[in-house]
Chain A
């Protein structure tokens, strides 16, 4: 499995292959964007796995369902009648995972985080990435080398933000 550093490295390598005067090289912006996004996904998911690996009763059931990306279901029949159980997959949004990790680790106050430049950049990055991964005829995506350069930087800043708030330490790239 690739590490977040490797995803970022491959994103940067794709980006440097894009030549302004060579339209045929523009497609490299697509993998560069997706790889930069995957770097955050990898980092955040691995961090959730660190917590999920602890004894089950370390967390409340709803928190555990979040960590494991399982559905929480109330049973009204069978041997677990009257209880909540974890079952099936229920994927969570990356931004929700980030908020969960920072909030539960006693990190910074998130009240105004969405108004900050970093988060606005993250939202733009997310929209572009979603459009690339889930393409639709009516939704045109336009990306430039400068934008992707910014996505890679945003990816690093988000990873740093999570690391600093959860592990209380900086990561290096």
Chain B
């Protein structure tokens, strides 16, 4: 088989021998078609490499995920980061691999100095290799490799670094891409209709850096509205306040949330007046909170977390769940949709400052306050707070009210664990 050095690669007989040795061990697709192998040389560090396609079964048997930077040093351990086998993106990768996904630009080094039975030391694409090892052999497709030869320690470190340098893509970006691909413009248009997005505005690609509705939050709002509606439809008004409710947080990333998927396949969200009304009322709450905190006259600190209190996941999911829950209880729904009262001491309707300072005896010392995170405990408490608020028309969310609502949640949970 012909081995050609590219015009930018200086001829090196040792490299040529190593490539020949590699081709005797492994048969890439190029060998089957008697195609020449081109050897390239990196312009920065002078490393030699070739590109070829290997069968999943060969890759699975020959790849080593425990590559070392310094092959002579026995103290040198596995250099790559830990595999994230439970990450949603990886699980999708593994499922795709079983279905015949072909991966490319997997970066390995041919090295028989240690663990010679697995001479392809993986530097870039360890998750892809893991997916190929676990699921890829069923369909046994060809995958694209870049194979380095005779690397010095310095060259090897450089390969490891450039193979693992990527500008991370946020889950918000994945959500936005997947949303548009699967469901088109429906969610974006719904958000524009209720006020979360302006005309011509899109979901942000990184929610934490903006003060806007993200795909995840909008999905969570919709899911919780319908979850609450389903639950509330089964409850009479006398038992509404005797339960602990569990608002749901939509999953995010490359896989679509199954509950959201089911709603979008069975419901036209742009044509549900109750959902649209809930969205509009929630937007009014967010708007009132935002303006109250931003106002120059207010005593509340003008902090992003306070301005956007309504958009914090526990607050958003708790509110929307209760909006759904009360659909069959019109008087309480009407109370829920009223803005909480404010006064000179509590100028913002959600009383963000006092909520953030709140702590129940049950909370660990590190607890950062009510409605500051997305954990289930917080979602339950916020749902109870809004449910309690819906009992009356004019409610000021002050410290006493917050205390009572959380006490009720803690009391109900304790009872559910075994009151005799």
Task: Indicate if the CB atoms of A172 and B361 lie closer than 8 Å.
Answer: no
Number of interface residues of A (CB under 8 A): 28
Contacts of B257 in A (CB 8 A): none
Contacts of A58 in B (CB 8 A): 242, 415
Give Cα A104–Cα B417 distance, bound, in whole angstroms: 11
Contacts of A47 in B (CB 8 A): 361, 414
- 8 Å CB contact of B414 from A46, A105, A173: A105
Give Cα A169–Cα B417 distance, bound, in whole angstroms: 11
Q: Please provide the chain B residues from 214 to 251 with a CB less than 8 Å away from any CB of chain A in the complex.
A: 241-242
- 8 Å CB contact of A104 from B359, B410, B420: B420
Task: Indicate if the CB atoms of A53 and B361 lie closer than 8 Å.
Answer: no
Give Cα A16–Cα B98 distance, bound, in whole angstroms: 65
Task: Indicate if the CB atoms of B361 and A105 lie closer than 8 Å.
Answer: no
Task: Indicate if the CB atoms of B415 and A167 lie closer than 8 Å.
Answer: no
Task: Indicate if the CB atoms of A166 and B361 lie closer than 8 Å.
Answer: no
Give Cα A46–Cα B404 distance, bound, in whole angstroms: 11
Q: Please provide the chain A residues from 106 to 135 with a CB less than 8 Å away from any CB of chain B in the complex.
A: 106-107
A43 on interface, CB distance cutoff 8 Å: yes
- 8 Å CB contact of A55 from B241, B362, B413, B419: B241
Chain B proximity of A167: nearest CB distance (Å): 6
Give the A-B contact count at a CB cut-off of 8 A: 61
Task: Indicate if the CB atoms of B411 and A167 lie closer than 8 Å.
Answer: no
Task: Indicate if the CB atoms of A105 and B242 lie closer than 8 Å.
Answer: no
Task: Indicate if the CB atoms of A53 and B365 lie closer than 8 Å.
Answer: no
Contacts of A3 in B (CB 8 A): 359, 361
> 1/0 contact trace for A34-59 toward B, CB 8 Å?
00000000110011011111110010
B418 on interface, CB distance cutoff 8 Å: yes
Q: Please provide the chain B residues from 391 to 420 with a CB less than 8 Å away from any CB of chain A in the complex.
A: 404, 407-408, 410-415, 417-420
Give Cα A168–Cα B5 distance, bound, in whole angstroms: 70
- 8 Å CB contact of B242 from A5, A53, A55: A55
Contacts of A171 in B (CB 8 A): 361-362
Chain A proximity of B407: nearest CB distance (Å): 4
Task: Indicate if the CB atoms of A167 and B242 lie closer than 8 Å.
Answer: no
Q: Which residue of A lies closest to B413 (CB)?
A: A167
Contacts of B404 in A (CB 8 A): 53
Q: Number of contact residues on B: which range applies?
A: 20 to 34
- 8 Å CB contact of B411 from A53, A103, A163: A53
Say yes or no: A4-B361 contact (C-beta < 8 A), given A105-B414, A166-B414.
Answer: yes
B43 on interface, CB distance cutoff 8 Å: no
Task: Indicate if the CB atoms of B415 and A54 lie closer than 8 Å.
Answer: yes
Say yes or no: A169-B420 contact (C-beta < 8 A), given A50-B407, A58-B242.
Answer: no
Chain A proximity of B418: nearest CB distance (Å): 3
Give Cα A172–Cα B404 distance, bound, in whole angstroms: 23
B364 on interface, CB distance cutoff 8 Å: yes
Give Cα A46–Cα B414 distance, bound, in whole angstroms: 13
Give Cα A169–Cα B410 distance, bound, in whole angstroms: 12
- 8 Å CB contact of A167 from B364, B407, B414, B420: B414
Task: Indicate if the CB atoms of B412 and A54 lie closer than 8 Å.
Answer: yes
Q: Which residue of B lies closest to A47 (CB)?
A: B361
Give Cα A171–Cα B361 distance, bound, in whole angstroms: 8
Give Cα A43–Cα B408 distance, bound, in whole angstroms: 16
Give Cα A52–Cα B407 distance, bound, in whole angstroms: 9
Contacts of A50 in B (CB 8 A): 407-408, 410-411, 414
Give Cα A4–Cα B359 distance, bound, in whole angstroms: 12
Task: Indicate if the CB atoms of A49 and B407 lie closer than 8 Å.
Answer: yes
Task: Indicate if the CB atoms of A105 and B241 lie closer than 8 Å.
Answer: no
Task: Indicate if the CB atoms of B420 and A51 lie closer than 8 Å.
Answer: no
Give Cα A168–Cα B362 distance, bound, in whole angstroms: 11
A-B complex: 10 closest residue pairs judged by Cβ atoms: A106-B418, A50-B411, A53-B407, A50-B407, A50-B410, A106-B420, A51-B411, A53-B408, A54-B411, A46-B361
Binding site for A on B (CB under 8 A): 241-242, 359, 361-362, 364-365, 404, 407-408, 410-415, 417-420
Q: With A104-B419, A166-B414 given, can you name 5 additional A-B contacts, CB distance below 8 Å?
A: A46-B361, A47-B361, A51-B411, A105-B419, A106-B418
- Name 25 A/B residue pairs within 8 A (Cβ), A-sorted: A3-B361, A42-B361, A46-B407, A47-B414, A50-B407, A51-B414, A53-B404, A53-B407, A54-B242, A54-B408, A54-B411, A54-B415, A55-B242, A58-B415, A103-B420, A104-B419, A104-B420, A105-B414, A105-B417, A106-B417, A106-B420, A167-B362, A167-B410, A168-B418, A171-B361
